[in-house]
């Protein structure tokens, strides 16, 4: 985990000072839609672009576990803290477990989160974290597959925010939902849960 992740927080904090939109609507949706992962399938096909400008598809990650998190680079608090916590969890896990894990941070704000923006942003955190973006339709399709809610929140002053679900999904080698973690669990608890399920 890189110590300069705080730059990302500071960047987002400027947005936060102008007013913060809600990012909690998804928690109720998770209980209703996701359940234990078996009632409604979570995950599926997507076509996106990684931070190196390469087109990637869901099937490209077969054979490895995936940790999938949706957010955006202008997020004032939750996203940078979550990514930093994920990085801390990865640092606490056995190297062979980390090697078998693809960590995907998928934007819900493709309008601002270009390839270059995503590359700079994920660089604040952990080298295992990949930033994925794409067209508006590609992002919608990915969010739909993972049952992710997101919506633009316009404000009278300052840039818009994105209200979005906050699930961090662990998917198995075949792209099937295994479990989920949350930022407030802390790095050690996340590392333990992931390690047990990889």
Distances in Å between the Cα of 156 and the Cα atoms of 19, 59, 183 are: 10, 42, 30
pLDDT of residue 135: 98
| pLDDT greater than 70 at residue 85 | yes
Give the residue from 124, 79, 130, 87 showing the smallest Cα distance to 105: 130
Kindly state the percentage of the chain with pLDDT values over 90.
74
- Of 22-26, 37-41, 49-53, 163-167, least confident by mean pLDDT is 22-26
Q: Are 21 and 76 in contact (CB under 8 A)?
A: no
Task: Compute the CA torsion angle 56, 60, 62, 63 (nearest 10 deg).
Answer: -120
Task: List the CATH number of the domain containing 82.
Answer: 3.40.30.10
- Averaged confidence pLDDT in the chain: 85
Question: pLDDT tens digit string along 86-124?
Answer: 999 999 999 999 999 999 999 999 999 999 999 999 999
> Does residue 183 register a pLDDT over 60?
yes
Confidence tier at 25 by pLDDT (50, 70, 90): very low
Residue 162 has pLDDT above 90, yes or no: yes
Q: Give me the domain span that covers residue 125.
A: 3-197
Q: Is 134 exposed, middle or buried (CB count within 10 Å of its CB: 0-12, 13-18, 19+)?
A: buried
- Pick from 140, 154, 189: which is nearest to 168 by CA? 189
- Count up the domains in the chain and report the number: 1
Query: Does the pLDDT value for residue 4 go beyond 80?
Result: no
In sequence order, what are the beta bridge partners of 95?
none
């Amino acid at each position: 985990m890189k110590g300069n992740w705080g730059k990302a927080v500071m960047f987002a904090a400027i947005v936060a000072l102008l007013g913060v939109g809600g990012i909690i609507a998804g928690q109720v949706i998770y209980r209703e839609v996701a359940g234990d992962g078996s009632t409604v399938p979570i995950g599926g096909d997507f076509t996106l672009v990684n931070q190196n400008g390469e087109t990637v598809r869901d099937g490209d990650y077969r054979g490895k576990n995936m940790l999938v998190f949706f957010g955006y680079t202008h997020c004032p608090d939750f996203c940078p803290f979550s990514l930093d916590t994920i990085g801390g969890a990865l640092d606490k896990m056995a190297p062979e477990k980390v090697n078998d894990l693809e960590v995907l941070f998928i934007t819900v704000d493709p309008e601002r989160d270009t390839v270059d923006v995503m590359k700079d942003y994920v660089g604040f955190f952990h080298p295992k974290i990949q930033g994925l973006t794409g067209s508006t339709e590609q992002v919608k399709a990915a969010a739909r597959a993972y049952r992710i809610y997101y919506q633009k929140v316009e404000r009278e002053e300052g840039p818009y925010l994105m209200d979005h679900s906050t699930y961090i999904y662990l998917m198995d080698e075949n792209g099937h939902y295994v479990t989920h973690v949350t930022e407030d669990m802390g790095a050690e608890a996340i590392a333990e849960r992931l390690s047990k399920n990889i």
